[in-house]
Structure 1
Amino acid sequence: MGIFSRFTDIINSNINALLDKAEDPEKMVRLIIQEMEDTLVEVRSASAKTIANKKDVVHQINKYTQEAADWEAKAELAISKGREDLARAALQERQKADTGAESLQHELSLIEDELSKLQNETGQLQDKLADAKSRQKTIVMRQNTVSSRLEVKKRLDSSTVDDAMGRFEQFERKIDDLESQVEAYDVGKRSLKDEFANLEADTQIEDELSALKQKMAASKQKAANTDNADDVKKA
């Protein structure tokens, strides 16, 4: 009963439900496949024994049937010879053979029913085994992917990443300080290009200053000429 009880449990089981409850789906699917394969081996062995038992029962039924036919022939012979007593005894033996055959025929019917159910359930188990094997690779891949994602999530949520980013910021500040020091060394130092640029700027300013003086002088002279003209008109 142990083999058939476990066999029925596997046939009726929901693989998805088993995987949902499992802490390690990859390990669980391997165990399911192994259990199915082991059960198939045991069931096939039991089936072989049952088939052998069926053949033995069929052989005994044929033997009883042949004995009944032989006793029937002997009863007919006895009657033909006027020996009713022997005919009666032969018929009794035939009846025993018929009874034995009928009893074994009932047993054979039970064996055939069990074999039919077993073959049907074996087919279901083979289908489930094929399904589990075809999904095994996908389940393992999903398990590995989820494990990797979980590891990344743990690292992102931990202080390790924050500490690393803090160190990066410290390095950036140090580099900023170094750059500031370099720039400080250049303060007050002018290159040859800077000197010429300053000369050009000074020349431009002097030209603008001279133009402004000339403009103001011209305006002043114009105003003086206007005043002199007004005085002449009055005189």
Structure 2
Amino acid sequence: MGIFSRFTDIINSNINNLLDKAEDPAKMVRLIIQEMEDTLVEVRSSSAKILAEKKALTRQVTRLEKDAEQWQGKAVLALSKDREDLARAALMAKKKSSESAQALLAELSHLDEHICKLQDEISQLQDKLTDAKTRQKAIVIREKSANSRLKVKENIHSTRVHDALNRFDDYERKIDDIEAEVESYDLGGKSLADEIAELETDEKVDDELAQLKAKMKNNKKQ
């Protein structure tokens, strides 16, 4: 059994309620659309048959009304020939044709009402189908968005991501250790700039020492 058991169920249905109760709204809306489309095909096929029946009845009414007119003419002809008996029979035949035409006209009137209501219901069904297809697009987009967000959330909380980040931390610590080892070789050693600066300092001390010796030597001579 489908979602809808009768055509009127679809017309009177509340799609929002159906979707609210559904565990899988995307699947539910696909089923709703499928059933609506199937029902629309069936109803239109039925409508085509009813319209064909209306045309056939209309043709019968036209034929019966024409027969009534012909019997009327025959009654006039019979009276003109003093054949009242034939005129009476012709009028009886006219009455029968007219009554049959009236009965068919009454049936046609009911058929027109039925067709009018059916067309209105088909229009409502088409509107609901259009609405369902519009909602389907929105639901599909929301579902894709939700799935994408879920994947992002899963990756954020994934142990693989944490493990990868931890490996990055390990690599950084190893690089820190290597850099520290390199820097340890420089501890206690002199750089080229330091050695040159020491040479400049030694040269100044030597000059000052030479000047001091010369000064003392001059003092002794005096």
TM-score between both structures, scaled by the size of structure 2: 0.72
**d(CA) in 1 for partners of 2:197, 2:13:** 91
Partner of 1:160: 160
Q: Per-residue displacement from partner, 1:98-146 (whole Å, max 9, x unpaired)?
A: 2212221121112111211222222233334444445554443332121
How far, CA to CA, are the matches of 1:17 and 1:198 in structure 2? 92
Residue equivalent to 1:74: 74
Instruction: Give the drift of 1:54.
Output: 0.2
Cα separation, 2, equivalents of 1:202 and 1:112 = 125
Q: Could you tell me how far 1:197 is from its partner in structure 2? A: 4.5
Partners of 1:24 and 1:203 lie apart in 2 by: 91
Name the counterpart of 1:38.
Answer: 38
Deviates more, 1:72-81 or 1:194-203: 194-203
Task: Supply the AA of the counterpart residue of 2:45.
Answer: S
Structure 2 SS opposite 1:188: coil
How far residue 174 of structure 1 moved from its aligned partner, in angstroms, is 2.2
Total equivalences in the alignment: 203
- In structure 2, do the counterparts of structure 1 residues 201 and 11 end up closer, same or farther at CA, with 3 Å as the change threshold? farther
Structure 1 gaps, min length 5 = 207-235
Structure-1-length-normalised TM-score: 0.69
What are the equivalent positions in structure 2 for 1:73-222 lying under 5 Å apart? Answer: 73-134=73-134, 136-197=136-197
Aligned equivalents of 1:203 and 1:36: distance in 2? 105
- Tell me the C-alpha RMSD between the 2 structures: 3.3
Deviation at 1:31, TM superposition (A): 4.0
- What runs of 5+ residues in structure 2 fail to find an aligned partner? 206-222
Distance 1:203 1:143, change over 3 A: farther
Aligned twin of 1:54:
54
CA 1:17 to 1:178, structure 2 compared with 1: closer, same or farther past 3 Å? Answer: farther
